[in-house]
Amino acid sequence: MDTVVVEGPRDVAALRRLGYGGKIDVCSRVSVSDADLVELIAEEASSAVILTDFDEEGRKMNRGLKGLMERRGVKVESGLRRQFGRMTAILGVYAIEDLDNVVERM
């Protein structure tokens, strides 16, 4: 996987605190449309994991970005999102940025 796509900067910070050192793209950039974001990602990545939140809005964002990315030739690793979603559900976490709280509790 070449990049992880998250909703915002707090999600980036949470993944970094968990030790993830790879490329992360933020989909909620001011004045950057989803289509423009996907174009930027497609120029640099052939595969991605979309880790938007696991609430209704996050699932909707995931579906939209996934469709755009696949049409642009970026392989979306949906299995990793499902595994991550199961893990976060067990922990009672539905927002990526809240993973910080889990680490602090441990």
- Provide the pLDDT for residue 80: 93
Q: What is the per-residue pLDDT across 2-39, written as a single tens digit (0 to 9) for each?
A: 999 999 999 999 999 989 999 999 998 778 899 999 99
The phi-psi region of residue 92 (left if phi > 0; otherwise alpha if psi is between -120 and 50; otherwise beta) is: left
- Provide the pLDDT for residue 30: 74
User: What is the total count of domains within the chain?
Assistant: 1
Residue pair 3/37 in contact (Cβ under 8 Å)? The answer is: no
**If we measure between CA atoms, which residue out of 53, 77, 54, 50 comes closest to residue 64?**
50
CA distance 87 to 82: 9
The pTM of this model reads 0.91
Q: What is the per-residue pLDDT across 72-103, written as a single tens digit (0 to 9) for each?
A: 999 999 999 999 899 899 988 889 998 877 66
CATH number at residue 28: 3.40.1360.10
Examine the pLDDT at 1 and tell me if it is beyond 90. no
Domain that holds residue 63: 3-105
